[in-house]
Amino acid sequence: MLSNTTIIVGVTGGIAAYKACDVVSKLKKLNANIHVIMTESACEFVQPMTFQTLSNNFVINDMFKEPKTWEVEHIELAKRADAFLIVPATANFIGKLAAGIADDMLTTTVMATSAPVIIAPAMNTNMYTNRIVQANIGALQDLGYKFIEPASGRLACGDIGAGKLADVDDIVAYVVDFFEKEAQVKDLVGRSIMISAGPTIEAIDPVRYITNRSSGKMGYAIAKRAVARGAQVTLVSGKTDLDVPKGLVKYINIESADDLYENLVREFEANDVVIQSAAVADYKPKSYSDKKIKKKDSDLSIELCRNKDVAQELGKIKGDKVLVGFAAETNDVLENATKKIKKKNLDFIVANDLTMQGAGFSTETNIVKIIEADGRINEYPKLLKSEVGDIILDKVRDILENK
């Protein structure tokens, strides 16, 4: 059932750590490849040898112990993982993760992964309901971490209430259901989708340039979801700090708006869909200085000229392709975005208001309105960018099916 699936199980220092043995055993019997990382405190409750025997893999519990391989262990496991399962997760671990603290092998590895992270908390009722713990859980959920709700009942300390580790079978079922959903949604098999992402850079001289605040997170989220749904994906990206999503057919790195245009045009015919989420500079310096411009006592003026409107140019050669645009605005969002649909010959446009908290650049979430060519407007609450990506891809699929 879980064949060819690599799950990293993180065990933290709570009395429920012994139940993680049963979780590992049951996942292993479903043919998952299990690697266990234990915190130092977890080793006080369960011996690493137990997990090593159950998983048939070495257990990692010390950042500074001599590694079993020549690979950088936490980076290699982070890359290899299809999912992380933290069971049990203490308030301490949740707090460190929410604060971005990586001071042991488990937190370090989780920080280094792009795989989904599933967290099963277990702690005293008063700790679990503490506003700080709940705020940390909420912050992690906003970042895309998934939580398995703890059960209510009699705890090891004698208290009765929420905080008891979810039933082992429920945890295993959650993991199985998660992977089944990932496997089932393959509705874009046979479709070729090109996605642009990130900022463009317009050079002034060898040192300076004009750019924007785009992080690329929206485009990369769409690319990941498109790959997961079976599409052949080409990602054309400006400079970002993001890892290149696994499974892409092609990754093309660009700098300027001209670079972006040339690559999109070159790859255009090979794709059914073009989703243009890159933030393209409208202007560039009219002339480039091949030497660093020296500071003077007087002011400096740089003459700018208009870049090609990449989306509009692609609209001219659209044919039967599906074209999706983005409009990041700070005012008159609907009016400005709607004008672009006809001008750029788009099937629909995704608009967001950069002034809204939780929307726009660098965040893990977005708040969008999707405006269709016939004028219909669909508004969405704050969602993870991966969830927005699926909404966009659902609309793309529907258009392709109706062509």
CATH number at residue 17: 3.40.50.1950
**pLDDT at position 9 over 80:** yes
- CA-to-CA separations, 351 to 238, 355, 363, in angstroms, rounded: 20, 12, 16
If asked whether residues 237 and 173 sit together in one domain, one would say no
Q: What is the pLDDT of residues 211-248, one digit of tens each?
A: 999 999 999 999 999 998 999 999 999 999 998 988 89
Q: What is the pLDDT of residues 251-283, one digit of tens each?
A: 999 999 999 999 999 999 999 999 999 999 999
If asked whether residues 127 and 155 sit together in one domain, one would say yes
183, 214, 249: which is the final residue of a domain?
183
Q: What percent of the chain is predicted at pLDDT more than 70?
A: 96
Domain count, the chain: 2
- Relative to beta strand 304-306, strand 322-329 is unpaired
Q: Which of 277, 253, 262 is nearest to 392 (CA)?
A: 277
pLDDT score for 70: 40
In this prediction, residue 55 has a pLDDT band, given cuts at 50, 70 and 90, of very high
164, 183, 202: which is the final residue of a domain?
183
If asked whether residues 319 and 220 sit together in one domain, one would say yes
Q: Where are the alpha helices (DSSP H) in 30-104?
A: 48-55, 73-80, 91-99
Q: Is 29 within a domain?
A: yes
If asked whether residues 135 and 218 sit together in one domain, one would say no
Angstrom distance (rounded) from CA 87 to CA 95: 15
If asked whether residues 211 and 325 sit together in one domain, one would say yes
If asked whether residues 173 and 233 sit together in one domain, one would say no
DSSP structural state of residue 189? T
Angstrom distance (rounded) from CA 176 to CA 169: 10
Identity of the amino acid at 234: T
If asked whether residues 126 and 261 sit together in one domain, one would say no
Q: What is the pLDDT of residues 71-101, one digit of tens each?
A: 445 578 888 899 999 999 999 999 999 999 9
If asked whether residues 391 and 279 sit together in one domain, one would say yes
Q: Is 390 within a domain?
A: yes
Q: Is 55 within a domain?
A: yes
Q: Which of 110-124, 148-162, 304-318, 353-367 has the lowest mean pLDDT?
A: 148-162
Q: Which long-range contacts (CB under 8 A, 24 or more apart) does 394-402 make?
A: 395/348, 395/370, 396/188, 396/193, 396/273, 396/275, 396/322, 396/324, 397/187, 397/188, 397/191, 399/322, 399/347, 400/191, 400/272, 400/273, 400/322
Angstrom distance (rounded) from CA 124 to CA 100: 23
Angstrom distance (rounded) from CA 352 to CA 242: 22
pLDDT score for 72: 47
If asked whether residues 233 and 374 sit together in one domain, one would say yes
**pLDDT at position 315 over 50:** yes
Q: Which of 338, 340, 363, 368 is nearest to 353 (CA)?
A: 368
Active site residues: 157
Other beta carbons within 10 Å of 246:
11
- Per DSSP (E only), the strands in 257-360 are 273-276, 283-285, 304-306, 322-329, 348-353
If asked whether residues 218 and 158 sit together in one domain, one would say no
Q: Is 243 within a domain?
A: yes
Residues 6+ apart with CB under 8 A from 298: none
Q: Residue 276: left if φ>0, alpha if ψ -120 to 50, beta else—which one? A: beta
- Tokens describing residue 298: 């007087």
Q: Is 273 within a domain?
A: yes
Binding-site residues for CTP, in ranges, read 282, 292, 326, 340, 344
- Domain holding 119, by residue range, is 6-183
Q: Is 291 within a domain?
A: no
Provide the sign of the torsion angle of the four alpha carbons 50, 150, 358, 399, taken in this order: positive
pLDDT score for 73: 53
If asked whether residues 178 and 219 sit together in one domain, one would say no
If asked whether residues 252 and 104 sit together in one domain, one would say no
Q: Is 32 within a domain?
A: yes
Give the CATH number of the domain where residue 236 resides: 3.40.50.10300
CA angle 229, 231, 232 (to 5 degrees): 150
122, 154, 183: which is the final residue of a domain?
183
Q: What is the pLDDT of residues 363-372, one digit of tens each?
A: 889 999 999 9
More confident residue, 236 or 126: 236
Q: Is 339 within a domain?
A: yes
DSSP-derived secondary structure for 168-182? HHHHHHHHHHHHHHH
Other beta carbons within 10 Å of 30:
16
